[in-house]
Structure 1
Amino acid sequence: MKSLENIIGVDLGGTNIRTGKVAEEKIIQLTKEPTPAAGSQSEVLEKLIALIDSCFDDNTKSIGIGVPSVVDVEKGIVYDVVNIPSWKIVPLKDILESRYKVPVYVNNDANCFALGEKYYGKARDCKSIVGLTIGTGMGSGLIFNGKLYEGKNCCAGEFGNIPYLNSNFERYCSGQFFSEEKSISAIDAFNQAVLGDQAAIQLFSEYGFHMGQAIKSILYAYDPEIIILGGSLTKAYEYFKPAMFEAIQNFDYRNVLTNLKIEISELENSAIYGAAALYLNSSQH
């Protein structure tokens, strides 16, 4: 049987490398292997290539890769990849295009999250989108006029680094709020909240207040149609949602709040879909 025209999406992380073949808006093949994160640059690259080889075929139109790092998007060079110490400067686009002879796109993983929602998730009908990932850290991707906006240096929309209180939004709007400010892990706080522990529930109310302040900053700066939340902390959304929405009620422009949509991502394997969507976002598509 002839294989379908497809795009390969790669989620390159410090723990696992996951590769998916995407065709007709579905992942039709999925592979995963542990990342040899302590290995040399070439060892990590060999593992990545082996996984891409397992999915690549004659009908593969493009390869997209999401990485937790700063990226020179035009040249496809990744810098200082999180939790992979040997990957200081890697010209990933050139290496892979030389091997596979198809267009290769490399971008930050948070940008890929936003693109995945645009092309495969809840933001399909939206042109102005902020994708916000909240887990161990806080990442974001921006889409305007239907296209990804990275800025000159792939740093646009780094809301987590905006100064806030005695630190920045990332410290108060990610798992760091629990571990650094409250000396408890986010998962332990969540498990206690599920059991009805009032102190844990109050922690999530505090967290929701800080998320509300971050949301207001995003609204003042970008005024998107929709904000989509992803990441591990969204499992606790019901516990911080009320305080978050209460905190944004003093936003100056009431019509913005009336029209605003905040949604939780339900896209399984969103990182792979987002990496594949780098091709759909490109001028070559």
Structure 2
Amino acid sequence: MTNDKIQVIGIDVGGTAIKLGRFTRDGTCLQSLTVASPQPTTPEAVLEVIVDAIAQIDPDNQAVGIGIGTPGPADAAGRIAKIAINLPGWIDVPLADWLEAKIAKPTAIANDANCALLGEAWLGAGRNFQNLILLTLGTGVGGGIILDGKLFVGHQGAAGELGLILFNPDGPMCNSGNQGSLEQYASATAIRRRTLKEPLELGLLAEAGDPVALTFWQEYGRDLGIGLTSLVYVLTPEAIVIGGGISGSFEFFLPAVKAEIEKRVQPLSRAGLKILPAELGNFAGIVGAAKLAWQNYSGF
């Protein structure tokens, strides 16, 4: 098989849907597929759905490798899904071994936020940078880190939980056990608690010029900027990519984010820093999982 014919499959596992894409090495998606997640979403049931979906998306058995994003940290070797707190039974699941035994293709797994970051770094907003972080603003706040062009997963593969950094020691309790994490101020859950409105509604109100909504997004941006300050000092990224559903209101909170970082971070640590909206949307996860597969494939 010539290099231009080599293909991999990227998979994004979620609680309600499992997305798959078949990709060439230049990032061209030849085919995509979305199937419903089994309920309950146990590891064994997910495995069977994935095996069946791979047969659908790759009926001629052309793919040479698989990459999978799971909703929780994987081990540093990319073999074991360590935990997924919102899925039943997902503790130390050897998903890569299981799938390789079923389909005989090299498989690697990673946290879904890390996969989204790999996708944005490969084909999206982060493609021109070697040092960047991704923050996903949704029901929770996830994240990922790329340093010197490589995904940073840290000890035990658990690095990059950017939403769990401390924001206010006296703030609301977090499911992580932390109190006052950034997630408790920047997530959709936090927005609902604070305003009794959905983020999308607040975005539409801001577009219509509603002063209360515009003020809210300024305050939101201030809080997010303060949280990002610590990350900028520690990691000095070239770019921060903002994704997730809340990023739809990026234009309304960006000025306050930038103002806080400029006020709180010394110029050398933020030199040339770009703050950018993610470009790939819900596609980022399978793109990044495909990139993970390419990185794991010994022939590439």
**TM bucket, shorter chain:** over 0.9
Q: Given the alignment of the two structures, is residue 36 of structure 1 paired with residue 38 of structure 2, yes or no?
A: yes
| Structure 1 CA distance for aligned equivalents of residues 134 and 63 of structure 2 | 27
| Structure 2 CA distance for aligned equivalents of residues 87 and 67 of structure 1 | 10
Q: Given the alignment of the two structures, is residue 248 of structure 1 paired with residue 261 of structure 2, yes or no?
A: yes
Determine which of 44, 47, 60 is the counterpart of 1:45. 47
The offset of 1:206, in angstroms, is 0.8
| Structure 2 CA distance for aligned equivalents of residues 253 and 113 of structure 1 | 29
Q: Given the alignment of the two structures, is residue 74 of structure 1 paired with residue 65 of structure 2, yes or no?
A: no
Q: Match of 1:20?
A: 21
- Judged with a 3 Å threshold, the aligned counterparts in structure 2 of structure 1 residues 74 and 213 are, in CA distance, closer, same or farther, namely same
Q: Given the alignment of the two structures, is residue 270 of structure 1 paired with residue 247 of structure 2, yes or no?
A: no
| Structure 1 CA distance for aligned equivalents of residues 221 and 108 of structure 2 | 35
- Judged with a 3 Å threshold, the aligned counterparts in structure 2 of structure 1 residues 267 and 195 are, in CA distance, closer, same or farther, namely same
Is the Cα contact below 8 Å between 2:106 and 2:297 reproduced in 1? Answer: no
Q: TM-score, normalised by structure 2?
A: 0.88
Q: Given the alignment of the two structures, is residue 4 of structure 1 paired with residue 29 of structure 2, yes or no?
A: no
The offset of 1:39, in angstroms, is 5.0
How many residues end up aligned between the 2 structures? 284
> What letter is aligned with 1:34?
A
The offset of 1:190, in angstroms, is 1.8
Is the Cα contact below 8 Å between 1:38 and 1:86 reproduced in 2? Answer: no
SS of the equivalent of 1:250 reads: helix
The offset of 1:29, in angstroms, is 0.5
Q: TM-score, normalised by structure 1?
A: 0.92
The offset of 1:34, in angstroms, is 1.1
Query: Alpha carbon RMSD of aligned pairs, Å?
Result: 2.0
Q: Given the alignment of the two structures, is residue 168 of structure 1 paired with residue 162 of structure 2, yes or no?
A: no
Paired-residue identity, %: 32
- Judged with a 3 Å threshold, the aligned counterparts in structure 2 of structure 1 residues 244 and 39 are, in CA distance, closer, same or farther, namely closer
| Structure 2 CA distance for aligned equivalents of residues 189 and 170 of structure 1 | 18
Q: Match of 2:138?
A: 135
> What letter is aligned with 2:267?
R
Q: Which moved more, 1:203-212 or 1:42-51?
A: 42-51
5+ long unaligned stretches in structure 1 = none
The offset of 1:83, in angstroms, is 3.4
> What letter is aligned with 1:30?
S
| Structure 2 CA distance for aligned equivalents of residues 273 and 141 of structure 1 | 15
Q: Given the alignment of the two structures, is residue 91 of structure 1 paired with residue 104 of structure 2, yes or no?
A: no
Q: Given the alignment of the two structures, is residue 106 of structure 1 paired with residue 109 of structure 2, yes or no?
A: yes
- Judged with a 3 Å threshold, the aligned counterparts in structure 2 of structure 1 residues 36 and 83 are, in CA distance, closer, same or farther, namely farther
The offset of 1:16, in angstroms, is 0.3
- Judged with a 3 Å threshold, the aligned counterparts in structure 2 of structure 1 residues 38 and 58 are, in CA distance, closer, same or farther, namely closer
1:202-242 per-residue CA deviation (whole Å, 9 max, x = no partner) reads: 11111100111122111111001111111111100111111
Is the Cα contact below 8 Å between 1:73 and 1:106 reproduced in 2? Answer: no
| Structure 2 CA distance for aligned equivalents of residues 70 and 143 of structure 1 | 16
Is the Cα contact below 8 Å between 1:37 and 1:44 reproduced in 2? Answer: no
| Structure 1 CA distance for aligned equivalents of residues 127 and 203 of structure 2 | 31
- Judged with a 3 Å threshold, the aligned counterparts in structure 2 of structure 1 residues 283 and 11 are, in CA distance, closer, same or farther, namely closer
5+ long unaligned stretches in structure 2 = 172-179
SS of the equivalent of 1:72 reads: coil
> What letter is aligned with 1:229?
I
The offset of 1:256, in angstroms, is 3.6
SS of the equivalent of 1:153 reads: helix
SS of the equivalent of 2:247 reads: helix
| Structure 2 CA distance for aligned equivalents of residues 214 and 124 of structure 1 | 24
Is the Cα contact below 8 Å between 1:75 and 1:91 reproduced in 2? Answer: no
Matching of residues 200-211 of structure 1 within 5 Å: 200-211=213-224
> What letter is aligned with 2:250?
Y
1:143-199 per-residue CA deviation (whole Å, 9 max, x = no partner) reads: 111111101222212221111122111111221331223332222222222222211
| Structure 1 CA distance for aligned equivalents of residues 257 and 37 of structure 2 | 36
SS of the equivalent of 1:74 reads: coil
Q: Match of 1:226?
A: 239
Q: Given the alignment of the two structures, is residue 150 of structure 1 paired with residue 153 of structure 2, yes or no?
A: yes
The offset of 1:127, in angstroms, is 1.4
> What letter is aligned with 1:105?
A
Q: Which moved more, 1:270-279 or 1:154-163?
A: 154-163
